Structure 1
C-alpha cells in the first residue's frame, strides 16, 4: 500500500508542475489578454492558442478517462482554437482557471484509491489512469516550456 500511495503522490506532484520546470501558476498567472493575441515571427500560433489548446487537450484526457461514451474532438482542428486572441482578460483568466481545475480533477482521480492506476480502460486501446496522468503532465510541461519561450520573445518574461 505504501508504494501505491507514493506513486499516486509523485504523479500528483508531476501534474501540478514545478519540480523540473516552472509551475503552471507562474507561467500563466500574469499573462495579459493584449499579449496573448500577439504573434511572433516564424511561430504559427499565439499564446492564447497554446493556452486554449492546453485546456482543450486536458479536458479531452479527463473526459476520456472518466466517461466511456466520450468522443474526442477531430484532430487537429478540434484541439486548436481558430481565434488568435481571447475576447478579453476575463476569457483568458477563465481558460487558465479551467486548466488549473482540470489538473486538480486529474489529481483527485489519481489520489482516489478506488481508481486502479494500472487497469486498462474498457473503452480504450490499453490506456489506463497512470498513462493518462503522465500524459497530462507531459503535455502541460511541453506547452508551458513553449509559453515561457514565447513570452521571452515578446519581452514579457523575467
Structure 2
C-alpha cells in the first residue's frame, strides 16, 4: 500500500491543533477555571442562594466527581468504565475549613492537569472507540462542557455574593 505523504503532513498539524484546542477549553478558555475557583471567597463558598440547591462548595464537589469519573475512563478506557453514573452532589454545603476549600481546588487542578497531559500526549488515541462506545476526545469534550456549565453557575453565585 502506497503512503500518501500529503495526508501524513496534514494529519499531524490537525492532530496538534485539536489537542491544543481541547487543552485551551479544558483550562476554561478566556476565563481559566482554576483561577476563578481560587478567586472565590472561601467565606462565601457555603452560601446557598434562595431558589438554588447548591453552594459553590457543592458545585466544586460535583465538578470534581464527574471529572474524576471521566479522567478514570481516559486513563483506563479499555475497562468499559461507566462514564455517566448518577450525579454526585455532596451533602455538606460548606467546607469544614479554608484549608479544605483550597485542598479541593488543588486536587481539581491536579486532576485537570492529568487530563490535559493525556490529551497532549501524541500517543493517546483521541478517537479510538472504546468498549463503552465512547472516545477519549468525547471524555475531554464532556468534561469541558460539564465543567463550563457549572463554572458559569459558580460565577453567577459569586457575582450575587459580591465575590466579583
Q: Normalization by structure 1: what TM-score?
A: 0.88
Runs (4 or more) in structure 1 with deviation over 2 Å come to 30-34, 69-74
Give the length in aligned residue pairs.
151
Matched, 1:60 2:72: no
Q: Is the 8 A contact 1:32 1:89 kept in 2?
A: no
Q: How does 1:6-25 map to 2 (within 5 A)?
A: 6-19=17-30, 22-25=31-34
Counterpart among 104, 107, 124 of residue 115 in structure 1: 124
Counterpart among 117, 139, 144 of residue 146 in structure 2: 139
1:116-151: CA deviation from partner (whole Å, max 9, x where unpaired): 1110122x1x11011111111111111111111001
| Structure 1 residue ranges without an equivalent (≥5) | none
Partner of 2:95: 86
Query: In structure 2, how many angstroms separate the alpha carbons of the residues matched to 1:141 and 1:15?
Result: 9
Q: Is the 8 A contact 1:62 1:106 kept in 2?
A: yes
Q: Is the 8 A contact 2:22 2:141 kept in 1?
A: yes
- How far did 1:153 drift? 1.2
Q: CA RMSD in A?
A: 1.7
1:82-116: CA deviation from partner (whole Å, max 9, x where unpaired): 00101101111111111111111111111111111
| Structure 2 residue ranges without an equivalent (≥5) | 1-11
Q: Is the 8 A contact 1:86 1:92 kept in 2?
A: yes
Greater radius of gyration (CA): 2
- How far did 1:71 drift? 5.6
